[in-house]
């Protein structure tokens, strides 16, 4: 554990983590937050669990991904989470949206979320292209794990940090909030678990246009896993948690 992590462990902080399935796991992000002295408060609005009325008892908030579409207007919890993000933004405490969570952040800010023009997926490891605002953030790693078929377009008052070939916007910043279309929280264990569950319940998803086959995914997992872990450490310490260091 480096000195920065030791200093952060000197006082207990609380992270609000919003997930979208009973068995959802915050993966590497959850573990790295615990390593930095955070208590994890995991909520599942999709199962009826309530989000707090303020951020007074929490030091940061993260909304993770999920299999549902943000554009499913029949899902009451989706609208509730999008509206709740306003509480997180007004608190000026760190906020991170990942995949579905990033799309919710974009929607809250007045952006749009839709399928790609080619009606394709990104399932597997894909390169992102840093913009001038994201060059430093993505200097050492530009390949990340993805699993989605919708992408966001954010308003002009957001900084686009990275772009992609299929889905034009991949990462953005709005004040203390960040949105990532990719999944840095998915480590080897979680990746294998996702593949196993999809293989059992919906194997056709791995044959959708834009999906890498399992062998390719595992090869790229081995190739990029350690670099993504190091990128995530840097991202948490120097961007998400920077105000608290």
Mind listing the pLDDT tens digit for each residue in 84-127? 999 999 999 999 999 999 999 999 999 999 987 777 899 999 99
CA triplet 239, 107, 128: central angle to 5 degrees?
Answer: 50
- The dihedral built from the CA positions of residue 5, 6, 8 and 11, taken in this order, carries a sign that is positive
178 vs 242, more confident: 178
116: three-class secondary structure by DSSP: coil
- C-alpha 243/C-alpha 235 separation (Å) is 13
| pTM to 2 decimal places | 0.92
**87, 133 Cβ separation under 8 angstroms:** no
> Which residues are identified as catalytic?
99, 183, 185
* pLDDT tens readout for residues 179-230: 999 999 999 999 999 999 999 988 888 889 999 999 999 999 999 999 999 9
Task: Look at residue 101 in the predicted model and tell me its pLDDT.
Answer: 98
Domains of the chain: 3-244 (3.40.50.880)
């Amino acid at each position: 554990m480096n000195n920065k992590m030791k200093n952060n462990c000197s006082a207990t902080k609380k992270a609000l983590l919003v997930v979208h399935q009973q068995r959802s796991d915050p993966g590497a992000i959850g573990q790295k937050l615990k390593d930095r002295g955070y208590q994890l408060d995991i909520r599942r609005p999709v199962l009826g669990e309530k989000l707090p009325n303020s951020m007074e008892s929490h030091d940061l908030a993260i909304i993770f991904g999920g299999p549902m579409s943000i554009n499913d207007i029949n899902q009451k919890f989706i609208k509730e989470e999008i509206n709740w993000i306003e509480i997180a933004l007004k608190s000026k405490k760190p906020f991170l949206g990942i995949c579905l969570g990033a799309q919710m952040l974009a929607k809250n800010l007045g952006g749009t979320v839709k399928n790609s023009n080619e009606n394709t997926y990104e399932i597997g490891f894909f390169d992102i292209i840093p913009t001038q605002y994201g060059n430093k953030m993505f200097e050492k790693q530009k390949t990340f794990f993805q699993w989605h078929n919708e992408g966001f377009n954010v308003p002009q008052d957001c900084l686009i940090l990275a772009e992609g070939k299929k889905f034009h916007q991949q990462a953005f910043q709005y004040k203390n909030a960040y949105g990532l279309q990719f999944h840095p929280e998915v480590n080897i264990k979680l990746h294998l678990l996702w593949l196993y569950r999809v293989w059992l319940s919906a194997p056709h998803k791995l044959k959708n246009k834009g999906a890498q086959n399992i062998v390719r995914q595992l090869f790229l997992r081995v190739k990029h896993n350690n670099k993504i872990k190091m990128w995530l450490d840097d991202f948490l310490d120097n961007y998400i948690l920077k105000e608290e260091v």
